[in-house]
Amino acid sequence: MSAAQWRKAMNFSATSRHWAGGRVVPPPAGRAATPASTPPAINGQRLWRHIGARHVVVLAAVLLYPWIVPPFFTFQIGGQALALGLIALSLTFLAGYGGMLSLAQMTVAGIAGYVVAILGESGTPQISLGWPWWLVVLFAIAAGTASATFIGWLSVRTEGIYTIMITLAIGVAFFYLAQQNYEIFNGFQGFQKVVPPVVLGVDWRSPVPYYYLVLFWALCGYFFVKYLIRAPFGVALQGVRDNARRMSALGFSPVAHRVAAYAVAGVIASIGGVLLVWYNGLISPGSVGTGWLINILIIAVLGGLRHPVGPFIGAVVFVLLQNFAIDLVDRERFNLVIGLIFLVIVLFSPDGLLGWWAWLRERAGRRLARSAVGGKDWRSVGVQQARPAGRS
């Protein structure tokens, strides 16, 4: 099927604008196709063509960052923002490209974090098993991914807008489980002293090594999502998001694609969860409470759901606000500030800070390359999904 046919099938407008511009979505191959079916030469060529000055500058900036700022900024701002950004990236992937707004991504991260504390070492030796760190991390990511798949399986059974409620309820259920169970989750206390291992003679908890560790995984996550959304699976997922019925008529299984998207997002969130528990050095029910479930959504929306760089921008802004709002506004009004910013973003710039950026660029008169990108505006996602599919 050619790209033109594809777009026709999906009823895409041919000139929808994309903020980064200039990209062409590879025509999706059939169901049996693998990523390799896209000619690798074109892939490589495209990759090089798109490395512009700004990419180099950003990469240099994030690499040099810990050498310019004090350790506090390296660890608490940089490290924390990247770890939170990674968790929010999993939501960006689910919501932006799968149309599923899951509030349980922090729960998935929290499950991975709890597994790290339970199987590894903590300040509660009665419960923690003290396994070697690499085994612990493997199990943590496996457990997080499995629970994400289960959450996905439960929530994709209902459609669209229900997802947000169901995932919120599941998240809160896990919060109560962790708070009430003392045998496994150590109840209200949770676990203290959950620190990264010393590997290769490096203490991964100290600011600079931790920063590079989390930066490495953040870059992995970023490029993985960037690759995936243009791979056949990602394109099919976006097709499911935009019109599940047509996709299923074309022989794709919407349910399978959605559950698989949850699983993929689960891997990303689990890695983020392991890094976050190492960052905090502790995990308690509060780390997976309603507040944090919502915070991840705020981070993702703040940055913008249209590009995988969004959650990291959102996380930097969020962490800066969280740390410094108390110095700018009246002492305890952090929640008001973050709530208002979130509200303004939702009301006036549905594409988050990225949307503003695109708007500013346009205003500045720089021509954005028109493209035929199939990235449909997420704003319209809910409508399509909430509409009863069986009635037409």
Return the residues of window 341-370 that contact another protein according to CB under 8 A: 342-343, 346-347, 350, 353-354, 356-357
Choosing from 8, 129, 339, 369, the residue that interacts with another protein (CB under 8 A) is: 339
Stretch in the footprint of another protein (CB under 8 A) among 35-43, 248-256, 293-301, 367-375: 293-301
| Gap between the Cα atoms of 369 and 18, Å rounded | 9
* Distance in Å, CB of 192 to another protein, minimum: 5
157 touches another protein (CB under 8 A)? yes
290 binds another protein (CB under 8 A): yes
Instruction: Name the H helices within the chain.
Output: 3-10, 40-49, 53-68, 71-72, 80-92, 98, 105-119, 133-155, 162-180, 207-228, 232-242, 244-249, 254-280, 290-303, 310-328, 334-348, 352-363, 381-386
Task: Specify the amino acid at residue 360.
Answer: L
Tokens matching residue 372: 């035929």
Q: Distance between CA atoms of 181 and 175, rounded to whole angstroms?
A: 10
Distances (CA, A) of 155 to 40, 102, 152, 181, 386: 36, 9, 5, 25, 14
Q: Which residues, numbered 231-270, are part of the site for another protein (CB under 8 A)?
A: none
> With binding defined as CB under 8 A, does residue 164 bind another protein?
yes
Q: Is 127 in the site for another protein (CB under 8 A)?
A: no
CB nearer another protein, residue 178 or residue 231:
178
Please, what is the minimum distance in Å from the beta carbon of residue 30 to another protein?
Answer: 29
Closest CA to 297 of 227, 367, 239, 352: 352
Which among 4-12, 30-38, 151-159, 366-374 is the span making contact with another protein, rule CB under 8 A? 151-159
CB 265, CB 93: distance < 8 Å: yes
Question: Is 87 an interacting residue with respect to another protein (CB under 8 A)?
Answer: no
Residue 155 CB, shortest distance to another protein, in Å, is: 8
Task: Give one word for 193, left, alpha or beta, with left for phi > 0 and alpha for psi -120 to 50.
Answer: left
Binds another protein (CB under 8 A): choice among 25, 77, 116, 137: 77
297: contact with another protein by CB under 8 A:
yes
Residue 114 interacting with another protein (CB under 8 A): no
Give the binding range for another protein (CB under 8 A) out of 32-40, 159-167, 239-247, 366-374. Answer: 159-167
If we measure between CA atoms, which residue out of 26, 15, 54, 107 comes closest to residue 294? 107
* Residue 224, token pair as written in the block: 């993985």
Distance CA 361, CA 354 (A): 11
Q: Which of residues 50-69 bind another protein (CB under 8 A)?
A: 54, 57-58, 61, 65, 68-69
How many chain residues bind another protein (CB under 8 A)? 97
Restricted to residues 173-212, the positions that interact with another protein (CB under 8 A) are 173, 176-177, 179-182, 187-190, 192-193
> Which residue among 105, 128, 155, 270 contacts another protein (CB under 8 A)?
155
